[in-house]
Amino acid sequence: MKTSPPAAPVRFDPILLCAVLALVSLGLVMTYSASAVLAQDKLGDSLYFLKRQMSAAGIGLVAMAVAMKLGWRKLARLAYPLLLVAIVLLIAVAIPGIGTTAGGARRWIRLPGFSLQPAEIAKFAWLVYLSYSLAKKREKVATFSIGFLPHLALCGILVLLCMLQPDFGSSVLLVFMLFVLLFAAGTKLSYLVGSVLLALPLAFVAIATSPYRMKRILAFLDPWAHRHDVGYQVAESLMSIGSGGITGLGLGDGRQKLFFLPEAHTDFIFSILGEELGLIGVGLLVVLYAVVLWRGIRAALAAGETFGTYLGLGISSIIAFQATVNMCVAMGLLPTKGLTLPFVSYGGTSLVVLMGSAGVLLSLSANTQGATRPVRTGTTDMREVTA
């Protein structure tokens, strides 16, 4: 009696896996370096932020392993439930008594032992839903009433809920995801350009009528003219990066984290990295992000199914976009937006979601190990997005 040969083990992209783990490891090191003095002074424990980030990394490893084991196809079934949960959480965080306020923004829900940031979950849920919806409606994506308007309207609702916190950075990422995937799906360029042109006057009014946003623009245009006011953070960031030179001051020897640069372990951790590790460290960081983008897009294009392709493109592009924006803000090339450095900045919810997303990319990468399958063209098989 013949026995069937054992199934070949699933192989994930080792290069992508190593790049993600290297970013997480670098993030743990830099989180401790950037936060130890602050944690000791404010909390009496120099390891406070490191321990919390290590706990998040441990949970993130579990999330990544689960995503790799279950595979990306099962996410299609969760598209609507995930989006519903995200909307409920975004509404809940805006309610006084449920949402926790810090730094003038109500972005967290305090739970026993940790804080949950709904916007991070909303970004992943939006990406899954958008990938599913565009794959399902592939033949009608080019139409305004089915392919463009419903997705734009839903994105507007999510952005509105984020802005109630307020969270401008997450709002930017939600819109970025929408435009990237609509473009990849074949939406008419005129719809995308037209919506941008219509949004420009609204953006101008939103900035002009908000003293806080106007100050951010002024700080971006000339941080040194507002050195002791709204431009303080950017000016200190530039000093931090500039003092690092080629080789840096040495790990742990940075000076700007000594209560000069606010949010040194979160939004501006790139500045501390540049100060302590120099241009060499910055170059290594950029290479790691480039590898994630390259291998992620490679996995997406080899998915063989429309839903997987959109999902992989979305995850890869959002990681690269967020990293680019964060670094540009730290170097004064963009106005401050409140976006963290993926895998590196301190933030538990963000790290867990990002590592889970990396697990999805790795499950997609299993298609690239061995024979690479081209992306299907033509009519979408509905089994692709419902299996």
Q: Give the residue from 96, 122, 97, 118 showing the smallest Cα distance to 108.
A: 118
pLDDT in tens, 196-245: 998 888 888 877 777 777 877 877 888 887 777 778 889 999 999 999 99
210 lies in some domain: yes
Q: What is the pLDDT of residue 381?
A: 40
Element (DSSP H or E) covering residue 105: strand 105-111
Residue 2 domain-assigned? no
Cα(216)–Cα(332) distance, integer angstroms: 11
Q: Say if 87 falls within a structural domain.
A: yes
Flag whether 9 is in a domain: no
| Mean pLDDT, range 314-327, rounded to an integer | 97
Domain encompassing residue 323:
14-386
How far apart CA 315 and CA 360 sit, in angstroms, is: 9
**What is the average pLDDT across 367-387?**
42
Total structural domains within the chain = 1
pLDDT in tens, 264-294: 999 999 999 999 999 999 999 999 999 999 9
Enumerate residues 6+ apart whose C-beta is below 8 A from 237: 256, 261, 268, 271, 330, 331, 332
**Residue 157 burial class via C-beta count within 10 angstroms: exposed 0-12, middle 13-18, buried 19 and up:** exposed
- Do 235 and 223 touch, CB atoms closer than 8 A? yes
Please check whether residue 128 is in contact with residue 78, taking contact to mean a CB–CB distance below 8 angstroms. Answer: yes
The interaxial angle of helices 269-301 and 232-244, nearest 10 deg, is 80
Q: What pLDDT was estimated at residue 380?
A: 41
Rounded CA gap, 382 and 45, in Å?
A: 54
Please, are residues 231 and 219 in contact by the beta-carbon 8 Å criterion? yes
Mean pLDDT value across residues 89-105: 85
Confidence label for 115 from pLDDT (cuts 50, 70 and 90):
confident
Question: Is the residue at 4 inside a domain?
Answer: no
Share of the chain above pLDDT 90, in %: 66
Residue 8 within a domain: no
Q: Could you tell me the pLDDT band of residue 38, with boundaries at 50, 70 and 90?
A: very high
Provide the token pair at 247. 């080789």
The predicted structure's pLDDT at residue 373: 41
Mean pLDDT of 353-369: 89
Is residue 324 included in any domain, yes or no?
Answer: yes
Provide the whole-model pTM.
0.90
Q: Is 5 within the bounds of a domain? A: no
Q: What pLDDT shows up at residue 9? A: 57
